[in-house]
Chain A
Amino acid sequence: MDLAFNDEQRVLHDAIVQIVTPHMDIPRSGPTVKPVEFMYADRLDHELAEGEFFSIALIDGCGLLEAAMLVYETARAPLVIEAAGSALIGALLTGEALPRPVAVARMEDLPRAVRFLDRARTLIVDMGDDVAIVSTDGLPIAPVHTMFAYPMGRVLEKVDLSGSRRLGPSAVPRLRHLCRLAIALETAGAMQSAIDFTTQYVKDRRVFGRPVGSFQAVQHRLAADLQKARGCYWLAMRAAWSDVPADAEIATLYAQRAIKAVNYDTHQFNGALGMTLEHALHFWTFRLRILQGELGGARAQATTLAETMWGDPSSVPVPVSR
């Protein structure tokens, strides 16, 4: 076992971080923060596209782990870009660099708000028994204004996918597996940044003549949140390394469960300022809010995982110890 990146991975990781870091550096609090629910990082998107980072998984010697790095690191930025749909899900599902941005949705969710659908050029649809790859050209799509820190869109009329490209039934579990990984990685990244941001805030903000972060009631909850965030990261990276469904189910279940405490605590500790659009916290926490329920949320992951791990409820009847 070696949990550090190898030389090639380190070079790639450094390159990603070098591109992403300047985009982390936006005004974080006060009237200079643009008061919007989300900011799409057009420049970051452009730079990563120029460097062909969104097709990283398709390069010889690279794959899921490299795509995972990109998804995690971009999710840490306060500004949002579409990375998981194209670099991880689209690329590994089809073996192609699909026209991006890429949105991914279950058939039944299309009339509701779908992440990135307002600007997506490709839509990947989980039809239940098949996967469709659809160009959004000519689809009746409208942006949806939400409080969530993702751009979102919805399909206005019932769409006819009968003539669309299909990947076949075997692509369905693969798509769901990759979606789980993407959720786990995005959650891990956004969560870590929300905690970092809050940690700095409670060091700076003083009440009763001392920093908020000097109260043990605050410290313990942030420390427990940090443990959860680190758990999310490592579970997600292991799942990306192994590409095993159970690992991705574990990572997503853990991540979606962790969101509740981390979101509550980080908002509590930022006080009213954290509710304003002039304070960057919501750029991460309101992404977490929507990730919390994706693919049916923790309950659905838990059900799937139980099936994967322990099979049919009555499959092993005799306890071994007595």
Chain B
Amino acid sequence: MDFGWTTSDDAYRAELVSFLTQELPNNWWDSFAYDGPSGPELMNNAGSFNRKLAQKDLIVRHWPQAYGGQDAGAWKQIIVSEEMWSRGEPRSSLYLGANWAGPAIMKFGTEAQKHRFLRPIADGEVLWCQGFSEPEAGTDLANMKTRAEPDGDGYVINGSKVWTSYAARADTMFLLARVGATGKGGVSCFILPVDAAGITVRPIPAIHSPHDFNEVFFTDVRVPADARLGEEGQGWDIVTTILHYERIGAARYEFSRRTLDHIVTHLKARGLFDDPAIRGECSKALAEVEAARLLTYVVIDGRAKNLPPSADTYVARYSMIQADHAVANLSSTYLPDLLTHDGDGMLRAHFTAAITAGIAAGAAEVQLNMISGRYLGLPHGA
């Protein structure tokens, strides 16, 4: 049992940190990242940032060599996530491509699709978005209605998606649409450009961000047959295998950890840290964060060893949610004035990301359902 990073891990982190220190401007939090990874300033900056990242070969090192990576593995991938997410994810939604859309294409794509989609991810050229949820299909995703009707040598897509982060500025969408049957068996995956004819995007202002959510409408959107990833009806399998790790893909605990230190700095400056009760609350939040870190590392350890995905992922995700909220509550209880629009960019970015942690990527209650069924083996409820 070894909880230490290898020299190669440390060197990789140092390389990343040095790049980030050089590339991110001094006013990063307050002028770019305060609104999260889908904020317009951050997304606009991501284009040039990602291309520089690609030049240093820092986007897909964890990918297999056959696809332009260096087989650097799962630990290197979580290091990237820790360093990026804790800085508000300067890559923006490129990370969707690097973390799971790319690997999904490697596993289920044709040679032509690999050729078309993987290089642009490695080169930092595309921002992705994920079109899964619909008004009547959030948790109950299999209830989705958006249809892709076979038509000649392609499909015609009609329907709508909602809560779609990044869609207003992304290039490519990973879409779930129904071909034929109802239920899970009818779900298929498509990859298409967001500016395809017939797609309209309506931004939905939200409390956590004016720019994150969008509703995406599809009106007779025509796509070629090779926009489909995998077989017809294979979408559910693709999404459940590939997205399993995505529940913990963003290293939320690291952002919470660094934000907590930042909170303590503010509390000290205001003399609030003299209060032993407040010091104690900070310690308790730290313990939640470190539990989430280790429970995530348990999942990464399994992944590094190529073990099949397990229910540990839901345990880790649930723990991350607790940790995020523990830290966010410190901000809103003791430093609410810094969560204002002219407040502290880092605190605001953390707070707004943290309050959505229990809903995005599967509600907290769904994680508990999965732990109950798959870890504890409790019988199905009524």
Contact = CB atoms under 8 A, between A and B. Distances in A.
A255 B244 CA distance: 28
A238 B3 contact: yes
Interface stretch (B16-24, B199-207, B225-233, B276-284): B276-284
Interface in A1-18: 1-6, 9
A83 interface: no
A190 interface: no
Tell me what chain A mostly uses at the interface: helix, strand, loop, or mixed.
helix
A127 interface: no
Interface residues of B, number: 63
A223 to B, nearest CB: 4
A302 B381 contact: no
Contact of A235 (B268, B274, B287, B347): B287
B315 A319 contact: no
Contacts of A224: 318, 368
A257 B283 CA distance: 12
A5 B265 CA distance: 38
Contact of B344 (A2, A213, A257, A319): A319
Tell me what chain B mostly uses at the interface: helix, strand, loop, or mixed.
helix
B360 to A, nearest CB: 18
B1 A4 contact: yes
A146 interface: no
Interface string B321-346: 01000000000000000000000111
A321 B295 contact: no
Nearest to B9: A1
B381 A219 contact: yes
B297 A3 contact: yes
B181 to A, nearest CB: 29
A319 B279 contact: no
A315 interface: yes
B284 A3 contact: no
Contacts of A218: 378
Contact of B368 (A6, A223, A316): A223
Nearest to B261: A310
Contact of B377 (A203, A242, A253): A203
B379 A1 contact: no
Given A2-B2, A4-B301, A213-B379, A230 B315 contact: yes
Given A235-B287, A313-B274, 11 more contacts: A1-B297, A65-B1, A224-B368, A235-B291, A237-B1, A254-B290, A306-B276, A309-B286, A310-B279, A315-B268, A318-B269
